[in-house]
Structure 1
Amino acid sequence: MTGSTPTSDTPAGPAGRDTPIDHGYLLDNARSEAGIRFDALSELFDPVTFRHVEALGIAPGWKCWEVGAGGPSVVTWLADRVGGTGRVLATDIDTSWASGAAGDVVEVRRHDVGRDDPPVTGYDFVHARLVLVHVADRERALRSMVSALRPGGWLLLEDADPASQPLICLDEYGPEQVLANRLRTGFRSLLATRGADLSYGRRLPRLLRESGLTDVTADAYFPITSPACDVLEAATVRHIRAQLVSAGLATDEEIDRHLDNVTSGRLDLATAPLVSARGRRPTWW
């Protein structure tokens, strides 16, 4: 899918059919590829996240909630910053990858932000990265995170906006790049059929303001080429290979050819822009 995002419950499928939304998560954490993806995403985006959190003045004693924690990298970094007097709650629908970060400062708990009430309130800082784009009830999830903030507390939401930059190969100069972009289009079509909002990132500043937060700022970042992009792409394609083939979006031969192109380093692979938006709960609220 390129350029536009379905907004109804029956988005147009890859062959122009109406395809019912399946809200199951396409990139579930149960697969071994999930750990590879978490490591690659950490390498790509942790510096961006940490820059934003540092700008908020994170300090010892802060109480933080990491929503949809996935891997442990952000959780352990937050724990180091808040020290022994602070607390970090890491939640996810599948906590297997974050469980290793549990300790005196970090609590890991199973929680569905799109369905469950906030586990606790009064947080100094709440963060979610690449989470809400996949959540079926994004409005409820956002309300939950805002309500969990203390007066003066900060919310940092970071999500992709694939519709604004749909290519994985920006420089489409040969058949290898054409194939890569076609498979990326298929991947995003699969995401859309599962309810992902492929233009969600761009709306984050407005949604934070409409939620009553103040001091809203945002920026966007995406690498154009990086070894971590290669690792991420190979793990993602292997993860969704069966779905691509069964949906008629690619053949096994095309996928093998693309993976060979990726692992051989012949492609400059980009990501969708990561939009980072932050806002503060008013002290009078």
Structure 2
Amino acid sequence: MNHPASGSPGDSSYLLDNARSEAGIRFDALSELFDPTTFRHIEGLGITSGWQCWEVGAGGPSVVTWLADRVGPTGRVLATDIDTSWASRAAGGVIEVLRHDVGRDEPPVSGFDFVHARLVLVHVADRERALHAMVGALRPGGRLLIEDADPASQPLICLDEYGPEQALANRLRAGFRSLLSARGADLAYGRKLPRLLREAGLTDVTADAYFPVTSAACDVLEAATVRQVRDRLVAAGLATDEEIDRHLASVASGRLDLTTSPMISAWGRRP
């Protein structure tokens, strides 16, 4: 249960609320897992000093601080989220943090050289509006990078289900996915990104996917996520407290090879 949310809708309908104490642990694990892929893509898009950047659904500070380092004192990094409590820690210098709902609000400004959202749109109710807002905020020639999960394409957390511990982990993952779906998450969103970027008018659209097969960060992310949603899993009849405790003990033991849903990265340029 590695699920998204580097930047997240922070209202009460969102399953992985930024306000929960586990959020910081999740952000750190997500950063360890996905920052290298994100940074590689941004560097490939040609980021340089002076760029004006918008980080949508910023969540934790790792991406915004990296962007600020790349654009330098003549650039700008706008970090937005519904809940800015974590991203605000990076505010200052070229980094501006603003409370903003990309699925409902108009873009704060336009003319960006680069706009990025990671593990965000899968959770946004009006994904189409959000995507078109980001495209519209680009200057001509500006680049958009959207990275989102596709749990439907790889639904397991233990690819090698060879025993009862792995079977329980996969059953809890299925329960977690059902909670996400009930809150409007599109679990097949990642695979749609290339088409959606083309339909939004972008050119030179390219995409790839990444997911670790096993990682210590996956263990940290899973434990924090399960603790964050355990009450809802139990209330929905998807797991018992005993099963969750048993699973958390298995995660802590390091006996599980935990993976994540594939993160699909798609990028394009505004003509």
Instruction: Give 1:158 deviation, angstroms.
Output: 0.1
Structure 1 residue runs of 5 or longer lacking an equivalent are 1-21
SS of 1:275's partner is strand
Cα offset for 1:23? 8.5
Over the aligned positions, Cα root-mean-square deviation in angstroms equals 0.9
Structure 1 residue 281 corresponds to structure 2 residue 270: yes
Q: 2:19 aligns with which of 10, 20, 30?
A: 30
- Select the residue among 243, 255, 269 that pairs with 1:266: 255
Identity of aligned residues (%): 84
Alignment of 1:80-99 (within 5 A): 80-99=69-88
Deviation at 1:24, TM superposition (A): 1.2
What TM-score results when the alignment is normalised by the length of structure 1?
A: 0.91
State how far apart, in whole Å, the 2-side matches of 1:196 and 1:118 are: 22
**Distance in 1 separating the partners of 2:93 and 2:242:** 50
AA aligned opposite 1:199: A
3-state SS of 2:108 partner: coil
1:249 partner SS: coil
Q: TM-score, normalised by structure 2?
A: 0.96
Distance 2:74 2:253 in 1: 48
Letter in 2 for 1:135: V
The alignment status of 1:232 with 2:226, answered yes or no, reads: no
Q: Is the 8 A contact 1:23 1:195 kept in 2?
A: no
Contact 1:23 1:136 in 2 (8 A): no
Asked if residue 198 in structure 1 is aligned to residue 187 in structure 2, the reply is yes
Moved over 6 A (4+): none
- The letter of the residue matching 1:138 is R
1:250 aligns with 239
| Aligned pairs for 1:104-183 within 5 A | 104-183=93-172
The separation in 1 between residues aligned to 2:42 and 2:249, in whole angstroms, is 38
Q: In structure 2, what is the Cα distance between the partners aligned to 1:23 and 1:126? A: 26
Task: List gaps (5 residues or longer) in structure 2.
Answer: 1-10
Match of 2:8 in 1: none
Task: Check if 1:223 corresponds to 2:230.
Answer: no
Q: Mapping of 1:37-52 within 5 angstroms? A: 37-52=26-41
Q: Distance in 2 between matches of 1:242 and 1:100?
A: 29
Q: 2:64 — aligned with what? A: 75
- Residue 63 of structure 2 aligns to a residue whose secondary structure is helix
Within 2, Cα distance between the matches of 1:137 and 1:224?
A: 31
Larger Rg: 1
How far apart are 1:104 and its partner, in Å? 1.5
